[in-house]
Structure formats: C-alpha cells, structure tokens
Copies of this chain bind each other. A is one copy, B any other.
Amino acid sequence: MTDAGEEMYELVERLYPLCRSITGDGVRATLDIVGEYIPLQTYEVPTGTQVLDWTVPQEWNIRDAYIADSGGRRVVDFAESSLHVLGYSVPVSATMPLSELRAHLHTLPEHPGWVPYRTSYYKPEWGFCLAQETLDALPDGEYEVHIDSTLADGHLTYAEYVVPGEVPDEVIVSCHVCHPSLANDNLAGIAVATFLARELAQETPYYTYRFIYAPGTIGAITWLARNAERVDRVKHGLVLACAGDSGSLTYKRSRRGDAEIDRVMGHVLAASERPHQVNEFTPYGYDERQYCSPGFNLGVGSLSRTTYGGYPEYHTSADNLDFVSPKAMADTLAVCREAFGVLDRNRRYLNLSPYGEPQLGRRGLYDALGGRSDTKQAQMAMLWVLSLSDGEHSLLDVTERSGLPFDTVATAADALHGAGLIKA
C-alpha cells in the first residue's frame, strides 16, 4: 500500500511541470508518461469534428510566455509555472503601460501569495495569472508582454486502457487530464486511475474495466460522441478527481441516485468506518456531468477526497506537490479496490429450493449439533442468501438487510452455488 502510494506520488511529480490544456502537446506528454505504466490506446480527434452539441476546438500549444519590465527582467514567467498563462491564450507580443495590462491580469486578492488558474477556451483572449503580491510590487510603467502560443487546426487527444473481464459489461473509470500544474486536480486522480488499472490487469475481473483519460468536458463529450453506440455496455462508472489531498473521502452519487455504484460506494465507505461524505448528484462538477446528462444517464458517480471548491487551494498554485500525499492516494486506491471488489461479486441469485429451507446439514453446510443459542455468521449468511434469493435482491441487498459483512455473504453465496442450491 505504501509502495503504491510512493509510486503514485512519483508519477504525480513527473506530470506536475507539464502544461496541460484541453488539447495540445502537454496532454500528449502526459499520456506518454502514463503509458509507461499501462499500455494506453491514444485517440486523436481533428479540430472541427462535431461532437454532440460541441465542436472540437483548435489545438493550443505554447512555448513561452512572460511579462518583462522596462529593464527586460521577466516579472511573470511561464517557465516558472504553467499556471502563469491564461489557458488557451492567443499569441501576443506588445508593450503597454501597466494600467492597460491590468485588464489581462488575473490574481487572487484574498490569497495574495497564490497564482490562480484561469482559462478562456471558447473566447479568444490572452492573459496572465500571477500572485497579487507580485502585481502589487510592480511599479507603473511600460511592460513587454509576450505569449508564444499557437492556436491552430490540430487534434484533441484522449486515451483508453481496457482491462477485459469475464463479461463485456463495462465499468468506466474516467479522469480529466486537462489541468496544468495542479497536483490534486487532477494528477492524483490520474495516478490513482493508473495504479488501479495496473492492479486490475493482474486479475480477470468480472466486469470489463475501461479507463478513460480525457480533457474535461470536451473530452468526455468527445468520448461519448464517439462511443454513443456502445454506451449501453457501460453499467457502472466512476470519475476520479481530487484524489490525493489530506481530507476524508467524498462520494458523489450518480444522477440516478440509486445506481448500483452509488449503493456499492455508500456501503464500502460506511463499512470501512472511514470518515467520509456521500453527496447527492448535482449537475456541476467533473465529467460525471456528461456521463450523467439526462440522455445518457449512466450510473457514474464521482470519488474525491475534498471536492472542487471545497478547499481554498482549489484551482490555485497552492494545489501543488505538498498538497497531495502518497498516503492519501493509497487510501483512495484502496477504497476503489474494495468497491470494485464488491461490485464484481454483487449478483442476484435465485433460490432453487425455495419451498421451506433446504436441508443444509446433509450437504455439509450446517453444524450438526443443535440447540445452541449462537449460530455462526457463515450459517446465518447462508440462511439470508437463501431467504432473499428471489431474483429481486442482490448480495448487497442481503448484506444491508442482514448486517453481515459483504464478504461473508458473498462467500456463503459461493458455497450455496457450489451445492447447486442457488443459481445466478
């Protein structure tokens, strides 16, 4: 666990300096690094492609950007942090007084030492983000502004990795890859997804697990547009975001509110006795917005530690490598593993001997000595599975009704299945 945590943290460190956006070479470089851990399939979708109600935008790439004072000193420099430039800034090369420049500067007055993260994807703008302290220290006068960016026809890039399961029914795990140097949002999510994928690939899970690495909103929309015919295969899903901070876990339900993933995550979090929060769906957040849009309405929830907007460091330079930890990411990973473990074993069985109890004793499934007031959990679990296996109750239902651990219930179901008393 600690090892996985440390490895995930190393991955986050490697990805941190890259300037990601919704398109461009930063995304490609990110996916290349992830591809060292798991074999990714990358897709390039041309600018102008119609995707649902949207159009794939021009590709944005940036090489350099700075504000220099009259002495030529770079007072704001993209080379120091990818956050310094407004995402999707058009190129600019000009000299102007500070008074005119101010309209293009974004700061966070309430956190004067932090640099905000800002973008302007769909309206041509240029701008810089900087600390309020930096701005306050700038004397009036002329400044040179330079953004060496390209906004041109190109591609939107996303990637997938599929862990085949026993059945073609799919679980999707989706994380956004469009944010620049923000550690929790979403390098931690990328790292957890990647190690989850790597671990699942060691096994043959019941479901087929599809990992999606795509830019937020437009990426998920592109994936949905290109997979609209196959989306019925997606039975469950999880969006991973803000997965590495020190806060406790937060699960946000799917729009359905009672999808199986919602029940599984709620159960696993409660049963684990971790402090946690379960929130109802709202149409604001990460790409669950798209997966849960009413036309698709997939059973996709979202797992985070502290959620977007729930911490002051959100979308600022303070969401840095100190803000995430190996331990927190390892914990998020562990909960995902537990949840998918439950999801994979959660079945509805049918009791094939539903009239009266079947005689468990002669099948070696029951203690021979009667009269005792204690009954073993395993026997209780068998009675519960037999009682509720009417085709309407899943093992998770049995678990919740009985108060027994899911694993005990699932193991009892295996024994009954082995004895031919129930069928899936």
Q: Which residues of A329-349 have CB atoms within 8 Å of chain B's CB atoms?
A: none
12 CB < 8 A contacts A-B: A52-B356, A53-B358, A117-B371, A120-B370, A217-B357, A220-B356, A225-B356, A282-B402, A284-B383, A309-B374, A315-B371, A315-B373
Copies in the complex: 3
A-B complex: 8 closest residue pairs judged by Cβ atoms: A295-B354, A295-B355, A283-B387, A283-B383, A123-B368, A309-B373, A119-B370, A52-B356
Tell me, rounded to whole Å, the shortest Cβ–Cβ distance linking A39 to chain B.
28
- Assess the A355–B315 pair: CB atoms within 8 A: no
- Assess the A361–B294 pair: CB atoms within 8 A: no
What residue in chain B is nearest A350 (Cβ atoms)? B294
CB contact between A52 and one of B122, B355, B387 (< 8 Å): that residue: B355
- Assess the B355–A224 pair: CB atoms within 8 A: yes
- Assess the A354–B119 pair: CB atoms within 8 A: no
Please list the residues of chain A having a beta carbon within 8 angstroms of any beta carbon in chain B: 52-54, 87, 116-123, 125, 217, 220-221, 224-225, 228, 255, 280, 282-284, 289-290, 292-297, 308-309, 314-315, 351, 353-359, 361-362, 368-375, 380, 383-384, 386-390, 401-402
Per the bound structure, the CA–CA distance linking A292 and B221 in Å amounts to 49
- Assess the B220–A371 pair: CB atoms within 8 A: no
Chain B residues with CB under 8 A of A374: 309
Counting chain B CB atoms within 10 Å of each CB, the highest count among A122, A283, A359, A401 belongs to A283
